[in-house]
Chains A and B, each alone.
Chain A
Amino acid sequence: MDFNDTPKEAEFRIEVRTWLEANAPTESELRDMEPMASSKLWQKRKYDAGWACLRWPKEYGGRGASAIEQVIYSQEEAKIQTPDNVFMIGQGMCAPTMMAWATEEQKREYVPAIASGEKVWCQLFSEPAAGSDLAALTTKAERDGDDWIINGQKIWTSGAHYSDYGVIVLRTDPTVPKHKGLSYFFFDMKSEGVETRPIKQISGASNFNEVYFTNLRVPDTQRLGKVGQGWEVALTTLMNERASIGSGGGGGVNFNRLFKLAQDVNINDKPAIKNDVVREKLANWYVQESGLKFTGHRTLTALSRGELPGPENSIGKLVGAPKSQDMASFGLDLLEQSGAIWDDEYSDFRGLYQTSYMSSPAIRVAGGTDEIMANIIAERVLGLPQEVRVDKGIPFNEIPTSSSVK
């Protein structure tokens, strides 16, 4: 056991750091640039120098690096200020699915452009009546010669409004049990028959959308997996989703920031950090944060053997998401009355705690809710039985769904 870098890893870290220091976009470079343009600029620069999607094979735009090298790179990039990453869904979920299921030709055509940030992808899985119960989806695809004709609606599609391509699960046969009648495709979001409408979130932003399909045509060559194998392909995407959300930060609030805040504000004329209740809460969050960090390090061992992230990864999201929310809430408590302000001019820390308070509920829902994560741990890690299911083995068109029960 050794938590330090090996000499080779230390060397790699220095190489990464040196490159980052010389190449990270400067503030003046980014001034007056749209967020999307600055994200793309940074991604392309990394790609050109071989620092994008490190773990992917070189022929698909990666570096063929090890899991540890990827972690070292991410740790170092996290230390500097860089533009937001809008490529997480494409790089974290869509590309791995393409690499696992697409033809060699398609991989070479589509995947490198995801690594370089030239093309942005989104994930169109959820529907109004199919979220946790994703396999209850009803948007349908009907065969027409070499194409499929798609009709229906997706919802909660993050980034649909700026995406070039999307991956989608569709119902191709409603007469068989629900998991069996699905097929998986990728398609051009700019095609005719696709209409994207933004949804306003409680945070005030509009990152996700409704997407409507009216006779959208998708060529059969863009099907991933066999007809009826869509659920299996979707699982590839979902496993990768869990890994990438689990490892992602929690909207900016972390132990270090909260600790600093507790040093800066007073309770009874003494720094809040000297208050026992504050100390207890901070200690508990610290041990959760470090426990998660080292759990991640332990899974690395498995990852470095090339294994897929397993269901144990659900723990990151299950612990991390509520923790972010609670820490944001406590940060506002420490700010006392000024916690009520959410104003660019007057909010402390540019509204970090307010923003996090209003955006953290999303992390507990997106990519599988807390409850679904707990089910996954109970069933897939501990091997406990599934809850009794009333829809098992019954043709999909004969079972109740939220859209049919009205």
Chain B
Amino acid sequence: MNFEFSDEQKLLKDQASGFLKENCPLVSVRDIVDDDALSYDKTLWAKIGEMGWTSTTIPEEYGGLGCSYLELSVIAEELGRSLAPTPFSSSVYLATEAINVAGSDQQKNTWLPKLATGEIIGCVAVAEAKGQITPASLATESNGSTLSGTKIPVADGDVADFSIVFVRANIGDGASAYIVDLTQSNVERESIRTLDPSRSQAKITFTDANCELLGKEGEGWSLLQKINNTAAVLFAWEQVGGSEHCLEMAKAYALDRIAFGRPIASYQAIKHKLANVYVKNTIAKSNCYYGAWALSTNDKELPVAAASARISAIQAYYFASKENIQVHGGMGFTWEFDCQFFYRRSKQLAVNIGSELVWQDKLISAIELDRAS
């Protein structure tokens, strides 16, 4: 048993942290939020590509580093901590993962080397309407070579070069996945305003858009579950990074702010609040450790480990980001202060690959399955 990252992984984390402090201070997150025309930080994205982060888990034969998910986990934690306004999660945790898992040799050869350098961006299009998405609720359809329908919201859909689009299928698990070039003329897309403007979302309308099957027909839904399990762990690391940042901010402010003649950090109501933030963060982080390990070894416990990491990280980040505002008092509610960015991001990450409710249900289903066997 060994419950720590290796020295090399810790070094990578320190590098990532240093790099992001320099290249992604909160003012640059603010720049993206303040400017409706900007969907993401292009300079940062280019540098991230140069650092090779986008290629972390891509096999060497396709131009990647062939590292494990443990390396990707430490990067994710730092990306989350810095609120990096980039399409990293869509492109790396989801689109790259989908092609890596289900792509043919030819598809891998076409997409992975470019995803590895970051020169192209991928995304995943699932949602079409409010509420939980299931195969039965999908309206987008395909005849095998073209597909039609409207997807909203698609995270990073306005800036991505291609998308993995999930459509209804009348066989198998009820859905199929297609790779669609988003730059073709049969695709119409618009950026939409978002709860977290440091992360972009799009509405995409496909009208007989050319598409190429990814994996097998009628196996799309299982593919989505599979990549969501991977993404859940990596999202959770981002969430933990963000939660820890909130705790640091709240602590610093509480030590500084004086009320009734003493720092507010000396009041028990504030101390216990921050202690609870710490507790939730620790619980989430420990689940993340296990999730990262289960992911890196493809352990049979992955569905349980991924759901545990995701649920506790959603809860921790929501709590940390809202109580961070609370500790800041009126200042916390001002546009000028940075508290808002974490509060926004916590919810963006909480709903992006299925909400807490969906994952709580998945967790219990996974345990039911496990106990039945």
- Residues of chain A touching chain B, judged by Cβ–Cβ distance below 8 Å, are 1-6, 9, 68, 71, 259, 273, 276, 279-280, 282-284, 286-288, 290-295, 297-298, 300-301, 312, 315, 318-319, 371, 374-375, 377-379, 381-388
Contact = CB atoms under 8 A, between A and B. Distances in A.
A375 B364 contact: no
Contacts of A371: 268, 272
Contacts of A291: 282-284, 286-287, 308, 312
Contacts of B267: 387
Nearest to A384: B265
B211 to A, nearest CB: 36
B15 to A, nearest CB: 19
Contact of A290 (B5, B308, B368): B308
Interface string B345-370: 00000000000010111011001100
A44 B296 CA distance: 44
B282 A280 contact: no
A294 B275 contact: no
A268 B4 CA distance: 46
A298 B254 CA distance: 29
Given A273-B368, A290-B287, 5 more contacts: A283-B359, A283-B364, A284-B360, A298-B3, A382-B251
B278 A381 contact: yes
Contacts of A384: 251, 254-255, 265-266, 270-271, 274
A157 B251 CA distance: 38
A287 B357 contact: no
Interface string B254-288: 11000000110111101110111011001110110
A371 B5 CA distance: 33
B19 interface: no
A374 B276 CA distance: 8
A4 B367 CA distance: 20
A301 B3 contact: yes
For the complex of A and B, list the 6 residue pairs with the smallest distance between their C-beta atoms, beginning with the closest: A291-B283, A378-B271, A283-B360, A294-B286, A377-B275, A295-B286
Nearest to B283: A291
Contacts of A301: 2-4
Given A1-B3, A68-B1, A300-B3, A294 B290 contact: yes
Contacts, number: 149
A377 B278 contact: yes
9 contacts: A279-B361, A280-B357, A283-B360, A286-B308, A286-B363, A290-B290, A295-B283, A379-B271, A385-B263
Nearest to B299: A3
Contacts of B283: 287-288, 291-292, 295, 315, 319
Interface string B88-132: 000000000000000000000000000000000000000000000
Given A1-B6, A284-B360, A385 B308 contact: no
Central interface residue in A315, A319, A377, by most chain B CB within 10 Å: A377
Determine which residue in A276, A279, A319, A375 has the highest number of CB atoms from chain B within 10 A of its CB, and name it. Answer: A279
A110 B353 CA distance: 59
Contacts of B1: 2-6, 9, 68, 71, 297, 300
Contacts of B251: 382-384
A282 B364 contact: yes
B289 interface: yes
A371 B292 CA distance: 33
B70 interface: yes
Contacts of A315: 278-279, 282-283
A305 B270 CA distance: 34
B311 interface: yes
Nearest to A371: B272
Contacts of B367: 259, 286
A276 B293 contact: no
B364 to A, nearest CB: 4
Most buried by B among A292, A300, A385: A385
A260 to B, nearest CB: 8
B221 to A, nearest CB: 21
A280 B311 CA distance: 10
B168 to A, nearest CB: 26
A381 B251 CA distance: 12
A102 B283 CA distance: 37
B271 A1 contact: no
B312 A287 contact: yes
A303 B6 CA distance: 18
A75 B341 CA distance: 43
A297 B266 contact: no
B300 interface: no
